[in-house]
Amino acid sequence: MKKSVLAALAVLALSGTAFADTIKVGVVGPFSGPFAIQGKNFKAGIDAWIALNGAKVGDDDIEIVYRDLPAADPAQSKALAQELVVKEGVQYLAGFYFTPDAMAVTPLLEQANVPLVVMNAATSAIVTKSPLVVRTSFTTWQTSAPMARVARERGVKKVITVVSDYGPGVDSENAFKTTFTAEGGEIVDSVRMPLSTNDFSPIMQRVKDSGADAVFAFLPSGPTTLGFVKAYNENGLAKAGVQFLAPGDLTQESDLPALGEAASGLLTTFHYAVSHDSAENKTFVEAARKAIGNPAELSFPSVGAYDGMHVIYKMIEATGGEQDAQKAVDAVKGLAWESPRGPVSIDAESRHITQNIYLREVAKAEDGTFYNKEIATFEKQGDPGLAALK
């Protein structure tokens, strides 16, 4: 071998060990606009992770590069991801609150040699769109199916479903319907409303007219869910004897102060409650509340982001900071740890998170504030939505 080649190889070998690199992680989320609290929660989860674990993996410095995507906008999502990869040189893409935004990025991953760690978007199919997707949030199949079992156990016979008409809403409807009818229940009507719906009174009238004992609903957390739960109360549905059933998106902690007494007793099923009683969650909540500023704003996207960082740090460790997306993803298949939400693992086949789903009831704390109180646990739930896709 020529001397010059040997010298070049020696420099390469050295650079792998002796010089620290900066590894950039591009995070896309709603940091402004009506869903800004959800983006703030992404950032609080990431800040909490860094506060507790440092901004270095081995010799490498970790830098987070944020991009704002205020509403579901797949074309803009793709443009932001391209810009992060090409101009910023990010080695990891993460975040993504809305399903259409995550879906739009999956075709870029293999060519860019970049893993995508989904910190919220909850439609089952996302992980099937690229082998380089890992998800640390939940799916609406995963959170909605247990509610159908709870409803049957509590003697609910007839249900009307009401969902936002896009990926996670359709999944939530299918999850509830499939499970509820398999357990002997009856679906009397199903409503799919545009994502932009903000006048829910006509829908509440349809719920009343349906003759159902309960309404099962899914909307993406934000002003949408706050408006829907308010409408349920203001239209006297509870008084009319129509129970409220939903995944926990509808009673996220940051909505509870505005709902007040009206939220009391609402039943939901979800992967995370800020009140979860564990040492890991205590440490997390303290750090995340410090990061977010206003403690009442802490909500579930923070834990998806915190655990997403856990996964990204493991990926960086396993690749020694080299850009090898497949090796990074392979390294977290089967990874198990104690999350603030409870025990979790990354399913090796689907790359989606396996976790407990909790039944919760909105309760009043001694200080007069409202919280989601965990009252039962469905342990180690995978994503039933993936089986349903086959």
* Interacting residues with ligand PHB between 167 and 206 (CB under 6 A): 168
- Select the residue interacting with ligand PHB from 249, 253, 307, 383 (CB under 6 A): 249
Within 8 A by CB and 6+ apart from 275, the residues are 371, 372, 373, 374
Q: With CA atoms as reference, report the closest residue to 383 among 193, 135, 169.
A: 135
Task: Tell me the C-alpha distance between 14 and 267, whole Å.
Answer: 58
Burial class for 363, CB neighbours closer than 10 Å (0-12, 13-18, 19+): middle
Question: For ligand PHB, which stretch binds (CB under 6 A), given 79-87, 115-123, 200-208, 360-368?
Answer: 115-123
What is the per-residue binding string for ligand PHB in 83-102, x denoting contact by CB under 6 A?
A: --------------xxx---
Min dist. Cβ of residue 168 to ligand PHB (A): 4
Task: Tell me the C-alpha distance between 357 and 123, whole Å.
Answer: 16
Helix (H) or strand (E) run with residue 133 in it: strand 133-135
Per residue, the 3-state secondary structure of 13-72, as one string, reads: HHHHHHCCCEEEEEEEECCCCCCHHHHHHHHHHHHHHHHHHCCEECCEEEEEEEEECCCC
Nearest residue to ligand PHB by CB is 220
| Beta pairing class for 133-135 and 116-118 | parallel
Residue 130 sits in the site that holds ligand PHB (CB under 6 A): no
Nearer to ligand PHB, 99 or 235 (CB): 99
Name the 3-class secondary structure at 116.
Answer: strand
Nearer to ligand PHB, 306 or 313 (CB): 306
Min dist. Cβ of residue 384 to ligand PHB (A): 16
Nearer to ligand PHB, 121 or 291 (CB): 121
Residue 122 sits in the site that holds ligand PHB (CB under 6 A): yes
Nearer to ligand PHB, 100 or 115 (CB): 100
Residue 136 sits in the site that holds ligand PHB (CB under 6 A): no
Min dist. Cβ of residue 251 to ligand PHB (A): 11
Interface residue list for ligand PHB (CB under 6 A): 97-99, 120-123, 168, 220-221, 249
